[in-house]
Amino acid sequence: MTKLNWGMIGGGKGSQIGPAHRMGAQADGNFVMAAGALDVDAERGRAFADTLGIASDRAYANWQDMLEGERTREDRVDLVTVATPNATHFEITKAFLEAGFNVLCEKPMTMTVEEGEEIVRVAEASGKICAVNYCYSAYPMVREMRHMVATGQIGKVRTIVANFSHGHHGDAGDADNPRVRWRYDPAMAGVSGQFADCGIHALHMASFIAGDEVRTLSADFASTISSRELEDDAMVNFRMEGGTVGRLWTSSVAIGRQHGFDIQVFGETGGLRWASEQPNQVFYTPVGGRTQIMEKGEGGLSDEAQRLSRVAIAHPEGFPLAVANIYVDLAAKIRGEAHGDFPVAADGLRSMAAVHQAVASAKADGAWVDARPPMFR
Ligand code: NAD
């Protein structure tokens, strides 16, 4: 099978998410890294591209050059990943979609709801893929939870409790470190700090597993380190379209919590629990019964969980392979082999609406607000 050509913008040397994309895209042999504008510093980006085996004429100084360079090539990239800081996602994603490229955009997809709606419209008009990297939804055991809910194995979902709370910005003495400070600076991060950074992963996960969307929310935001303008801790209560009650806590000052992403789903006949730090296990408790530990790779799991599991039972599969699962389905969709099961622009838009509405709610002392983007009301 011919490999697909893949390019990345951002994700340069030393970046946080770049390695997961490089490993994920290439893990299954579907994509070859053919082009990139990898760094805000053109020379550093080119030098890094060289170490990755990208041909020098496709190691671009910036995304605009990449757009022009790739546009007219016969072997143009089949997929572009946008892994730059948040404020640049909108213009890069829009430009590549309009030029007829498939795009995988990092979260948050945009900075505003209006931009999010624009991306949804542009993606639809282009007929191209606009995926958003809510990669936690591609862990095999998360797919198992979604399958269990969809097939009624825990009954109607009553309540979801989701956390994405870590402690890595909990040191007040380090709050002025430039790598930390920008995340709480509205000029750089937008209207929200921790909720837009981590909380939206948990909110997307709740919708993904429940097979339902968030309709209303009420938020309490706090800047527990007083020099911060944006929140470093948030509690968001929500209600889903089908009536499910949601509780979401996200924090960056929860000292002692490391990655801190976990979710519990409580239905009428059973409960489920999953944590990103032990992603190969789901804890399942049927009503009136004992808690069982379900393991990735064991017999009896759904086809979907089996499909996305690569190595034998008890061998850890981690974050890069969850990202790889997104790329597997992108490749299948690009090749026309399958419809592709990955988060899309509409999911990115819903997150942006939730972020802006949570900010509005927090400012109004937790008033309940409509969490949906105007386009979907
Ligand atoms: P980072 O600061 O570690 O790295 C950003 C990279 O982009 C750097 O290499 C930088 O040189 C490059 N860059 C900046 N501006 C650029 C431009 N205009 N053109 C080309 N390259 C440019 O950031 P990060 O933590 O890797 O985050 C990048 C994005 O990924 C953010 O939007 C973040 O929210 C997202 N992210 C997602 C996840 C996830 O789980 N899906 C995890 C971490 C980060």
Q: What is the ipTM of this complex?
A: 0.99
**Strands, sheet with 31-37, edge to edge from the N-terminal-most edge strand:** 31-37, 4-10, 79-83, 102-105, 130-132
Query: Can you give the residue range of the structural domain that contains 188?
Result: 137-310+350-362
- pLDDT at 1 (0 to 100): 77
- pLDDT at 164 (0 to 100): 98
Of 106, 135, 164, the residue that ends a domain is 135
Burial class (CB in 10 A: 0-12, 13-18, 19+), 100: exposed
Q: Are 142 and 124 within one domain?
A: no
From residue 44, give the alpha-carbon distance in Å to each of 40, 48, 50, 70: 8, 6, 10, 20
Of 118, 135, 152, the residue that ends a domain is 135
Q: Report residue 179's pLDDT band, with 50, 70 and 90 as the boundaries.
A: confident
Say if 247 falls within a structural domain.
yes
- Does pLDDT of 247 surpass 90? yes
Domain count, the chain: 2
Q: Are 231 and 281 within one domain?
A: yes
Find the mean pLDDT for residues 5-17: 97
- Does pLDDT of 233 surpass 90? yes
Of 112, 135, 158, the residue that ends a domain is 135
The reply to whether ligand 1 has any atom less than 6 angstroms from the CB of 209 is no
The reply to whether ligand 1 has any atom less than 6 angstroms from the CB of 135 is yes
Contacts of 241 (CB under 8 A, 6+ apart): 212, 213, 214, 215
Contacts of 66 (CB under 8 A, 6+ apart): 7, 9, 35, 36, 37, 60, 80
- In this structure, what CATH number is given to the domain that contains residue 90? 3.40.50.720
- pLDDT at 5 (0 to 100): 98
The reply to whether ligand 1 has any atom less than 6 angstroms from the CB of 110 is no
The whole-chain average pLDDT of the chain stands at 97
pLDDT in tens, 20-43: 999 999 999 999 999 999 999 999
pLDDT in tens, 124-171: 999 999 999 999 999 999 999 999 999 999 999 999 999 999 999 999
Say if 227 falls within a structural domain.
yes
- In this structure, what CATH number is given to the domain that contains residue 298? 3.30.360.10
Distance from C-alpha of 207 to C-alpha of 142, rounded to nearest angstrom: 12
Q: Are 31 and 176 within one domain?
A: no
Find the mean pLDDT for residues 182-191: 93
Q: Are 252 and 292 within one domain?
A: yes
The reply to whether ligand 1 has any atom less than 6 angstroms from the CB of 44 is no
Say if 374 falls within a structural domain.
no
210-214, 220-224, 273-277, 335-339: which has the minimum mean pLDDT?
335-339
Contacts of 61 (CB under 8 A, 6+ apart): 37, 42, 45, 46
Q: Whose CA is nearest to atom 17 of ligand 1?
A: 40
Q: Are 142 and 130 within one domain?
A: no
- pLDDT at 65 (0 to 100): 98
Q: Which amino acid is at 210?
A: A
- Does pLDDT of 227 surpass 80? yes
In terms of Cα–Cα distance, which of 310, 262, 259 is closest to 23? 310
Distance from C-alpha of 109 to C-alpha of 106, rounded to nearest angstrom: 6
Q: Are 224 and 354 within one domain?
A: yes
* 70 close to 95: Cβ distance less than 8 angstroms: no
Say if 258 falls within a structural domain.
yes
- Does pLDDT of 203 surpass 90? yes
Say if 367 falls within a structural domain.
no
Distance from C-alpha of 98 to C-alpha of 247, rounded to nearest angstrom: 38
Q: Are 238 and 295 within one domain?
A: yes
Say if 292 falls within a structural domain.
yes
Q: Whose CA is nearest to atom 16 of ligand 1?
A: 40
pLDDT in tens, 90-127: 999 999 999 999 999 999 999 999 999 999 999 999 99
- pLDDT at 55 (0 to 100): 98
Neighbours of 263 (CB within 10 A): 24
Q: Which of 15, 103, 110, 325 to mutate to test the pocket of ligand 1 (most atoms within 8 A of CB)?
A: 15
